[in-house]
């Protein structure tokens, strides 16, 4: 479980996050949604420690992550898997080397064991026999899947995903969403997904937080979202005619 | 300026923290050594031979007098190569070739979130990315400078064979006459310091890149310019202190 308590983040004069508190449950797909500039990626980066919050605290299973220094954070970080918006695969390494990289640094496994684990992770994301390819040789969807394979290579307790569907076609987006949802249950992870993709929201949103102007504007599940009377959330979720029509049918 | 210098020192401190796994870092050091050393051999060989040849011809031209023995041209050419041309010109060229590579490589990793990915995994990103580059540079730049000295002197010899300003025998006699080991020590100290400056300054510029492709290019340019200026400044300081 991850708890965020009264997080503020300011860049110069710009208050991006204004006192957000939230709890992300284990085994659930927790979605952070909101329009561009609402602060969702900043919130994710504050949670994982890529940005230090101006004020407030983040707890990973009761441990105060915000007050730890780099060395103290390492044991928690080895339990974190993250899929970045552009996958962030290491260009100079093959697919297999990318997946084996955290294993090389933080485990004492033999090369054969690490290779087995890499093969298992690749098979899990339906990318068998692509071990020797370089990231430049992969499509956007394949890069995302390799990113997921790398994220789960250490069997993490926490999975963070930043815009998993950006730049993907609708069919691949659904496959990636389903994969994230399956892995969350399989590894019993606390999964936090930042997205503005409505398919993801309706498909896998067990727990949704809607950010607006740096504040938590709404919280609920994908079942509740269709019946909310929150104006800003309705404007955001049902902005398209397609979604409006879908809402009327609900 | 003071803020940047402070950030540079802090980054260097982080770069030399104890590695997570020595074996993984060692593999990176070896990879960088091949890239810096073997990868730069061609350009260093070409500039050394031409500079050595041109220096010898110019010195012989300037000393063309019946009162001065022509072997002096070989001696001056040798010392100029050892003390100045090989360490300094080679390092300036390496700043362009190796330094821009370091800055753009790390800068690209920054803007494509690869450095964030390292940090999320719990890897000390400055240590993993920068320390192998610094170690490779302070090892390989002195080696390249030794190669450059040998080829520079050879270039002078080729110029003597091809032209008529000075005979090869006079040149060789000047090269071996009154050789002082201190000049080699000065050249190696310079090479070591220049190697450190190139790797650390360019890596620093790359590490703090923000934005996109345009900013990566700007970081690489800044890295090369700043390291060239610092190389010339350090050249003056080392020469003043050691000679």
The DSSP line for chain A is -EEEEEEEEEETTEEEEEEEEEEE-TTSEEEEEE-TTSSHHHHHHHHHTSS--SEEEEEETTEESTT--HHHHHHHHTTEEEE-TT----TTS-HHHHHHHHHHHH----HHHHHHHHHHHHHHTT-TT-TT--GGGS-HHHHHHHHHHHHHTT--SEEEEE-TTTT--HHHHHHHHHHHHHHHHHTT-EEEEEE--HHHHHHH-SEEEEEETTEEEEEE-HHHHTT---HHHHHHHT-SHHHHHHHHH-
The backbone torsions φ and ψ at residue B159, rounded to the nearest 5 degrees and listed phi first, read: -65, -40
Q: What is the pLDDT of residues B109-144, one digit of tens each?
A: 999 999 999 999 999 999 999 999 999 999 999 999
The mean per-residue pLDDT over the stretch A5-34 comes to 94
DSSP letter for B180, please.
Answer: -
Q: Which of B220, B219, B108 is nearest to A86 (CA)?
A: B108
Residue range A80-125, pLDDT digits in tens:
999 999 899 999 999 999 999 999 999 999 999 999 999 999 998 8
Contacts of B119 in chain A (CB under 8 A): 49-50, 77
Closest among A213, A190, A178 to A43, alpha carbons compared: A213
Give A221 or A240, the one with higher predicted confidence.
Answer: A221
Q: What pLDDT is attached to residue B138?
A: 97
User: What six digits make up the tokens of B22?
Assistant: 């020595």
Question: Which of residues B21 and B131 earns the better pLDDT score?
Answer: B131
d(CA B74, CA B57): 10
Largest CA distance in chain A: 57
Helix (H) or strand (E) holding B70: none
- Band (pLDDT 50/70/90 cuts) for residue B181 is very high
Domains and CATH numbers, chain A: 2-79+156-249 (3.40.50.300), 89-155 (no CATH)
**A65 vs B123: CA distance, rounded Å:** 16
pLDDT surpasses 80 at A246: no
| A101 in contact with chain B, both atoms CB, cutoff 8 A | yes
Q: Percentage of chain B surpassing pLDDT 90?
A: 87
- In tens, the pLDDT along A30-56 reads 999 998 889 999 999 999 999 999 999
Out of B20, B112, B117, the one facing A105 most closely (by C-beta) is B20
When CB atoms are compared, the residue of A75, A85, A104 closest to B24 is A104
**CB contact (8 A) between residue A88 and residue B112:** yes
Q: Cα–Cα distance between B145 and B231 in angstroms, integer?
A: 14
Our measurement of the distance from residue A36's CA atom to the centroid of its chain's CA atoms, rounded to an integer in Å, reads 17
Q: Which of A149, A165, A159, A51 is nearest to A102 (CA)?
A: A149
Least CB-CB distance to A105: which of B119, B120, B123?
B123
Cβ distance B113 to A104 less than 8 Å, yes or no, reads no
- Write the residue in A70, A73, A104 that is nearest to B21 by C-beta: A104
Three-state SS at B153 = helix
Instruction: Quick: pLDDT tens for A145-155.
Output: 999 999 999 99
Among B112, B113, B120, whose Cβ lies nearest the Cβ of A80? B120
Tell me what the mean pLDDT of segment B184-192 comes to: 97
Residues in chain B with CB shorter than 8 Å from the CB of A192 are none
> Are β-strands A63-64 and A55-60 bridged in parallel, bridged antiparallel, or unpaired?
antiparallel
Residues of A in contact with B123 (CB under 8 A): 105
How confident is the model over B23-72, as pLDDT tens digits?
Answer: 889 999 999 999 999 999 999 999 999 999 999 999 999 988 888 888 89
A198 touches chain B (CB under 8 A): no
Q: Which pLDDT band holds residue A250 (cuts at 50, 70, 90)?
A: low
Any idea which residue has 């030794």 for tokens?
B146
**Predicted structure pTM score:** 0.90
Contact B117 A49 (CB under 8 A): no
Chain B interface includes A74 (CB < 8 A): yes
Residue A153, pLDDT score: 94
Instruction: List pLDDT tens digits, range A175-200.
Output: 889 989 999 999 999 999 999 888 88
- Phi and psi at B180, nearest 5°, equal -115, 125
Residue from A11, A58, A80, A105 to probe the interface with B (highest B Cβ count within 10 Å)? A105
Q: Return the percentage of chain A with pLDDT > 90, whole number.
A: 68
């Amino acid at each position: 479980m991850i708890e965020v308590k009264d997080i503020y983040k300011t860049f110069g004069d710009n208050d991006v996050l204004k006192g957000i508190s939230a709890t992300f449950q284990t085994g659930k797909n927790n979605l952070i949604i909101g329009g561009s500039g609402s602060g969702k990626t900043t919130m994710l980066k504050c949670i994982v420690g890529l940005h230090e919050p101006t004020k407030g605290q983040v707890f990973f299973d009761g441990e105060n992550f915000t007050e730890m220094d780099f060395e103290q954070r390492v044991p928690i970080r080895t339990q974190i898997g993250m899929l970045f918006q552009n996958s962030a695969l290491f260009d100079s390494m093959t697919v297999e080397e990318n997946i084996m990289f955290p294993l090389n640094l933080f485990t004492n496994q033999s090369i054969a064991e690490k290779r087995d684990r890499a093969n298992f992770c690749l098979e899990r994301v339906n990318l068998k026999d692509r071990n020797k390819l370089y990231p430049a040789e992969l499509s956007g969807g394949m890069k995302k899947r390799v990113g997921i394979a790398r994220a789960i290579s250490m069997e993490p307790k926490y999975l963070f995903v930043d815009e998993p569907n950006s730049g993907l076609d609708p069919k691949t987006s659904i496959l990636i969403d389903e994969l994230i949802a399956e892995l969350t249950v399989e590894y019993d992870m606390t999964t936090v997904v930042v997205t503005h993709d409505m398919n993801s929201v309706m498909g896998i949103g067990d727990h949704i937080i809607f950010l607006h102007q740096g504040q938590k504007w709404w919280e609920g599940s994908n079942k509740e979202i269709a019946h909310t009377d929150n104006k800003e959330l309705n404007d955001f979720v049902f902005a398209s005619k397609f979604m409006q029509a879908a809402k009327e049918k609900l | 300026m003071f803020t940047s210098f402070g950030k540079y020192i802090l980054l260097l401190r982080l770069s030399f923290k104890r590695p997570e796994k020595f074996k993984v870092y060692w593999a990176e050091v070896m990879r960088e050594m091949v890239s810096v050393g073997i990868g730069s051999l061609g350009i260093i060989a070409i500039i050394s031979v031409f500079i050595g040849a041109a220096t010898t011809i110019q010195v012989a031209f300037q000393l063309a007098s019946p009162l001065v023995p022509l072997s002096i041209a070989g001696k001056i050419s040798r010392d100029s190569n050892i003390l100045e041309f090989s360490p300094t010109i080679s390092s300036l060229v390496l700043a362009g070739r190796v330094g821009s590579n370091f800055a753009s490589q790390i800068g690209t990793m920054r803007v494509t979130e690869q450095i964030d990915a390292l940090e999320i995994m719990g890897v000390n990103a400055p240590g993993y990315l920068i320390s192998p580059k610094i170690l490779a540079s302070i090892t390989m730049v002195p080696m390249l400078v030794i190669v450059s000295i040998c080829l520079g002197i050879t270039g002078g010899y080729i110029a003597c064979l091809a032209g008529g300003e000075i005979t090869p025998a006079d040149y060789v006699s000047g090269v071996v006459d009154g050789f002082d080991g201190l000049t080699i020590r000065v050249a190696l100290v310079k090479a070591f310091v220049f190697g450190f400056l190139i790797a650390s300054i360019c890596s620093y510029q790359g590490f703090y890149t923000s934005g996109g492709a345009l900013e990566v290019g700007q970081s690489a340019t800044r890295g090369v310019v700043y390291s060239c200026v610092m190389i010339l400044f350090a050249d003056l300081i080392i020469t003043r202190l050691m000679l």
